[in-house]
Amino acid sequence: MKRGFQSASVAVLAVVLGLGGLVAFTPSAEASSFERLKKKGFKVGTFTRGKSGSRGWYLTNGSERYFCRFKGSTVYIGKTKMVIYTGPGREISMNRKAYEEKAGGPDPSIPMMRDLKAGRPEARLVGACVKQ
C-alpha cells in the first residue's frame, strides 16, 4: 500500500512539474485596449482584414503594431446597402431599405462604412487589440 502511494505521488509530481514547465515557456500574446493605444499616440489604419481573416484595424506607432478586432457585425454602406460580418469575417450583403422597413427605421448604433474605412471607429465597436 505504501509503495502504491509513493508511485502515485511521483506521478502527480511529474505532471505538476511538466505542466509548470510548459506554462513557463509558453509565449504569451501582448494585448491592450483601443483607447489606451490611442492615448499613447498610435495611429488607426483603415478597416481591413487581419491575418486570421477577421475584420478590424491596425494601430501603429513607429515599429509597434497592434491589430484590433471589429466587435460589431452590421455596417451601413450608403443609403441603400448594408453588410453583415460573420465571426470569421465573411461578408453578407443586405438591402438597407428592406431592413429598415422591418426594424421600424434606421438604427443609429450601426456605423457607416466610410467612418470605419477612414479609421474613425467608435471605441464600443473595437474589441481586443493584439500585438503583431
- The residue assigned the cell 464600443 is 124
Question: Is 92 a domain residue?
Answer: yes
Question: Is 15 a domain residue?
Answer: no
Question: Is 12 a domain residue?
Answer: no
pLDDT digits (tens, 9 = 90+) for 25-52: 444 467 789 999 999 999 999 999 998 8
Of residues 96 and 5, more confidently modeled? 96
In this structure, what C-alpha cell is assigned to residue 89? 469575417
Question: Is 62 a domain residue?
Answer: yes
Task: Say how many domains are in the chain.
Answer: 1
Q: Would the pLDDT of 17 be above 80?
A: no
pLDDT of residue 89: 75
pLDDT digits (tens, 9 = 90+) for 65-95: 999 999 989 999 999 999 998 877 789 999 9
pLDDT digits (tens, 9 = 90+) for 117-128: 999 999 999 999
Q: What is the mean pLDDT of the chain?
A: 83
Which residue range forms the structural domain that includes residue 107? 30-131
Cα–Cα dist 117/58, whole Å: 11
Question: Is 107 a domain residue?
Answer: yes
> pTM for the whole thing?
0.73
Question: Is 95 a domain residue?
Answer: yes
Question: Is 23 a domain residue?
Answer: no
In this structure, what C-alpha cell is assigned to residue 21? 514547465
Cα–Cα dist 81/73, whole Å: 14
Cα–Cα dist 132/130, whole Å: 6
pLDDT of residue 32: 84
pLDDT of residue 65: 96
* DSSP-assigned letter for residue 5: H
pLDDT of residue 29: 60
Listed in sequence order, the residues at least 6 apart from 56 whose beta carbon sits closer than 8 Å to its beta carbon are 47, 48, 50, 67, 68, 69, 70, 126, 127
pLDDT of residue 24: 43
